[in-house]
Structure 1
Amino acid sequence: MKELDFHKSRFMAGKIGRREFIGRAIALGVSVGAASTLAAEAAFAAGPKKGGHLRTGISHGSTTDSLDTATYENGFMGAISGGTFNQLGQVKADGQIHPDVAESWDASPDAKTWTFNLRKGMTFHNGKSVEADDVIASFQHHMGKDSKSAAKSLLDQVVSIKADGKHTVVFDLSGGNADFPFVASDYHIAIKPAKDGKIDPIGKHGTGSYMIESFEPGVRATFKRNPNYHDGEVAHVDSVEMITIADVAARTNALSTGEIDMMDRVDLKTVHLLKRNKNLKVETTTGFAHYTMPMRTDTPPFDNNHVRMALKHAMDREAILKTVLRGYGSVGNDHPISPANQFYAAELPQRSYDIDKAKFHLKKAGLSSLNVELSAADAAFAGAVDAAVLYKEQAAKAGINIKVIREPNDGYWSNVWLKKAWCFCYWGGRPTEDWMFTTAYAADAKWNDTYWKNDRFNTLLLAGRAELDPKKRREIYVEMQSIVRDDGGAMVPLFNNYVFATAKNVEHGKMAGNWDLDGNRFMERWWFS
């Protein structure tokens, strides 16, 4: 209809608002649903609009948070990393690694030497130009025997880093690694300005699209657009405010009443109510994220693999998927590799709820029953406490008596995870098998939250990293998934979709799924229509 096209063009030009456009479309005989869809399509087709203040309610955030990127372990700080800092590369919606601080890179034939060419003219928020020495100091902050960085295990393979002029950095590795550009772009390894060969770990100056104006750990952070950002196609809003709202009901209410423009991790028990709100949008992305239940294998009774296997068989994953995730995900197979990963082992039998096998493994452990404590809090993931209670009922049929310990949300990642013998956890996952296994399953990994060590696994980890033949790499990673599944200390019951909600006028392009909220880059990728 020519008249409808006329109104659509005026809407795209900003001459009439969304509500007026929908009203005029309905008057022309278009259904309400079709009119809303047309409005959304027109808003996206019009392209990103500059301006506005984006208010975000985030489920994470702790009073122990620090701007030292080596310590980042929750979604609030991950979002700061995505908005304020840059890494050598970035993962986009296609799941591949793309240039960021580095404009290009290349490898030696054996993938043991990697050369990164830095973007010229790039500056930090304090005006300093980005040079090779800054990159070297930023990486060295996460390396060495005294480093406490979560990225330390990823960089143990680095033998040396050296500058080749001001804008080239050369990494020599102990063995070949075809995935090294992914590793070098881990969100912990932010490029910060160096002085006398060192960075200020808690310094707020990065190269990112938004500059930190204020930071109150566990409360809020505010940002303003970086006028000198290297990519003029992003960073659409003028300013951003991130607020920690750990309680999902409070977060939902804040969005519903217009106090915030977007929220992460919606309550799946009430997501149908959000969908009824005509002023809001519920959206989802699928990637590598998963929920785990790490058992400390250095602590009885979890040091006995038969106990671990009994607990794995005593869970009805399908029931928990349906009850807790409302279908927004898929069941896990007790290893962290997602169906979205290149070398996912689809051939491994899916572990199922099997009381007889649970009892069999208890007997092998010399037990007729088992009493254990399981720490849970919704800080781990929305619905974690409900999942624990449901699992308790399921496991009781095998003679496993679980005492659910409801932990406080605040301080959960400091006081429970990596400390309590058994708890709930969530992982954003990683785009490559080596990255995921190195981060959380290698014997010496800082985030090896099960304290698990398996000699065969660790031998294969090095072999898979250096192998360049895809067929041989697949064989290695399939065996590693099998080892973790049948010997590891982590139960991996679910792979979760990221489910979040925004006001109707918040727009974006195709989203990345490597982390929540567009790979933690919503600040620079999203805009107001």
Structure 2
Amino acid sequence: MKNIDKLTRSPGRSELSRREFISRALAMGLTLPAAISLADSPAMAAPPKTGGRMRIGLGLGSTTNTLDPATFEDTYMQIVGFGLRNCLTEINNEDQLVSELAESWEGSADATEWTFELKKGIEFHSGKTMDAEDVIASLQHHLGENSTSLVYSILAPIEEIRADGKSTIAIKLSNGNADFPYLLSDYHIAILPARDGVVDWRSGDGTGAYKLKNFEPGISTSMVRNPNYWKEGHGHFDEAEILSIIDTNARTSALVSGEIDAMDRVDLKTAHLLGKRPGINLKETQGTLHYVYSMFCDTPPFDNPDVRLALKYGIDRQDLLDKLLFGHGYVGNDHPIGRSNKYFATELPQRPYDPDKAKYHLKKAGLTELTVPLSAADAAFSGAVDGALLYKEHASKAGINIDVIREPNDGYWENVWDKKPFVASYWSGRVTEDWVFSSIYAEGVSLNETHWANPRFNDLLKQARSEQDTGKRGEMYFEMQKLCSDDGGVIAPVFSNYVFATNDKVAHNRMSAAWDMDGIKCLERWWFA
């Protein structure tokens, strides 16, 4: 460690190339993610410069995309959304909760009442000054009996929102929620301009670093820099273009040939080779991204808990980590809480690959063998089909025949996910336990892809949300992770690092691991060196 510190502090450090710095750090014993993180620290980055046209190729995007943040489902629209708009709060590049459009906030002792003071003088691209009316309408956009918003479930506890002047809003919740300010950093809950209580999402108007120039769903989105952006030190590109390039090879070729400046979802099989190419920098962060195979808990045979356990014991997680992620991550335990979460259940026994145990649970379910279809496409995650085929091999030793159905990448999220009973999927996770549990695992929420409904889990979810004692809260979250692992419909075999790449013109400070591509805020945080 002394050698690492010496390398970091050495007078000649700024003269080292990023690649040379990483090579030396690896030779001193650092892991690749740690070496990359250290190389990308603020001390290694040149001061930000303004200018240039940033082109990003992403492995997601659909012709059904809209500019309504309530509908955002994938990285493509998340990056577009954060280029155009801001939220009340933000997870910064240090993965800490900070203010964004809210200047400050304060909660009552029982966390049921929250007051937010808004920053003053911030304008939308259209010139309208943001005020409490816009914030209230933006929150109410997700509420109401007929709401189809993907964050309805986490905002549903709001009983009342009122303005106290133009710069203060007060929110009353039906139940206490100590994490409520975190929720308001969700990319769905962007603040939009409002008129007569109705938000304008169609125009793309926002308070963000970029103004919308053109939006072609499933193809490309172009923006120009907002010269009046209120956030100092952010939003450096003159122009930005986000391209949907679903095919990994095409995306990689576009980066190598110089057609784009950055890409997500690097093919992990060839990541080491891409990182060696002149002019290309491989990026890696570790957060809460996890890959899953999800089953409907209300559809036979998955409605039997023993069948679900048999399928969980029938997968070799380490084999997937080695052959699918090539070590760029760690094994999962069939729940969504990652090592970076505060209440990660470190003492929960890791579920092993155990074909005999899988057979035992099949027998308990009254079965000697089992055949199930599993739908997968690489649109779900890079290597989803290969992972499904590996899973098929693993499960066969337990008398389970997994019939892998290769689905088209195009339209996967509209036609397969949440339509078929056993599918490949992925989740970025969330910074807090309540956030991910409330969004994806609570009974009846729109993103509950397994239709799981466990009464004990849902009771604990409400209790833990308002519990101020961190010890008691930790015990509740431990039990909830165990309930997900033992009873839930999600097989979460691996947590994956975010692995993406840029050309060597792209510079940045420390990158957030809260979501992909620097917390999906690459447009306002990166610049050309």
Q: Distance in 2 between matches of 1:39 and 1:461?
A: 40
Q: How does 1:127-206 map to 2 (within 5 A)?
A: 127-206=127-206
Residue 357 of structure 1 corresponds to: 357
How far apart are 1:45 and its partner, in Å?
4.7
> Is it true that 1:419 corresponds to 2:410 in the alignment?
no
Residue 374 of structure 2 corresponds to: 374
Residue 103 of structure 1 corresponds to: 103
Q: How does 1:168-317 map to 2 (within 5 A)?
A: 168-317=168-317
Name the amino acid aligned to 2:139. F
Residue 346 of structure 2 corresponds to: 346
Task: Indicate if the aligned counterparts of 2:292 and 2:425 stay in contact, CA closer than 8 A.
Answer: yes
Say if 1:41 and 1:157 are closer, same or farther in 2 by CA, change over 3 A: closer
CA deviations over 1:469-524 (Å, ceiling 9, x no partner): 10110011111111111001111111110000110111110011111001110000
CA deviations over 1:292-312 (Å, ceiling 9, x no partner): 111001111111111100000
Residue 387 of structure 2 corresponds to: 387
Residue 73 of structure 1 corresponds to: 73
* Range 176-185 or range 43-52, more displaced: 43-52
Residue 337 of structure 1 corresponds to: 337
How far apart are 1:200 and its partner, in Å?
2.5
Name the amino acid aligned to 1:122. I
Residue aligned with 2:57, SS: strand
Residue 31 of structure 2 corresponds to: none
Q: State the identity %.
A: 53
Q: Distance in 2 between matches of 1:362 and 1:519?
A: 41
Gaps of 5+ in 1: 1-7, 13-17, 23-29
CA deviations over 1:336-373 (Å, ceiling 9, x no partner): 01111011111100001001110001001111000100
Task: Indicate if the aligned counterparts of 1:236 and 1:526 stay in contact, CA closer than 8 A.
Answer: yes
How far apart are 1:231 and its partner, in Å?
0.9
Q: Distance in 2 between matches of 1:387 and 1:41?
A: 34
How far apart are 1:41 and its partner, in Å?
8.8
Q: Distance in 1 between matches of 2:384 and 2:98?
A: 35
Residue 112 of structure 2 corresponds to: 112
Q: How does 1:1-40 map to 2 (within 5 A)?
A: none
Residue aligned with 1:491, SS: strand
Task: Indicate if the aligned counterparts of 1:175 and 1:466 stay in contact, CA closer than 8 A.
Answer: yes
Task: Indicate if the aligned counterparts of 2:46 and 2:507 stay in contact, CA closer than 8 A.
Answer: no
Say if 1:304 and 1:83 are closer, same or farther in 2 by CA, change over 3 A: same
Q: Distance in 1 between matches of 2:45 and 2:328?
A: 28
How far apart are 1:42 and its partner, in Å?
10
How far apart are 1:43 and its partner, in Å?
9.1
Task: Indicate if the aligned counterparts of 2:40 and 2:510 stay in contact, CA closer than 8 A.
Answer: no
Name the amino acid aligned to 1:203. S
Say if 1:363 and 1:328 are closer, same or farther in 2 by CA, change over 3 A: same
Residue aligned with 1:385, SS: helix
Residue aligned with 2:160, SS: strand
Residue aligned with 1:106, SS: strand
Say if 1:158 and 1:40 are closer, same or farther in 2 by CA, change over 3 A: closer
Q: Distance in 1 between matches of 2:467 and 2:198?
A: 34
Larger Rg: 1
Q: Distance in 1 between matches of 2:275 and 2:197?
A: 52
Residue aligned with 2:447, SS: coil
Residue aligned with 1:426, SS: strand
How far apart are 1:325 and its partner, in Å?
0.3
Task: Indicate if the aligned counterparts of 1:44 and 1:508 stay in contact, CA closer than 8 A.
Answer: no
Name the amino acid aligned to 2:526. W
Residue 6 of structure 2 corresponds to: none
Q: Distance in 2 between matches of 1:40 and 1:443?
A: 41
How far apart are 1:39 and its partner, in Å?
11
Residue 466 of structure 1 corresponds to: 466
Residue aligned with 2:204, SS: coil
Gaps of 5+ in 2: 1-10, 25-35
> Is it true that 1:327 corresponds to 2:360 in the alignment?
no
Q: Distance in 2 between matches of 1:31 and 1:59?
A: 29
Q: Distance in 1 between matches of 2:234 and 2:146?
A: 38
Residue 502 of structure 1 corresponds to: 502
Q: Distance in 2 between matches of 1:101 and 1:455?
A: 37
Q: Distance in 2 between matches of 1:523 and 1:212?
A: 13
How far apart are 1:269 and its partner, in Å?
0.8
Say if 1:41 and 1:353 are closer, same or farther in 2 by CA, change over 3 A: closer
Task: Please give the TM-score of this superposition, normalised by the length of structure 2.
Answer: 0.92
Residue 484 of structure 1 corresponds to: 484
Residue 46 of structure 1 corresponds to: 46
Residue aligned with 1:424, SS: strand
Task: Indicate if the aligned counterparts of 2:315 and 2:395 stay in contact, CA closer than 8 A.
Answer: yes
Task: Indicate if the aligned counterparts of 1:44 and 1:507 stay in contact, CA closer than 8 A.
Answer: no
**Runs of 4+ in structure 1 displaced over 6 angstroms?**
30-34, 37-43
Pairwise CA RMSD: 2.2
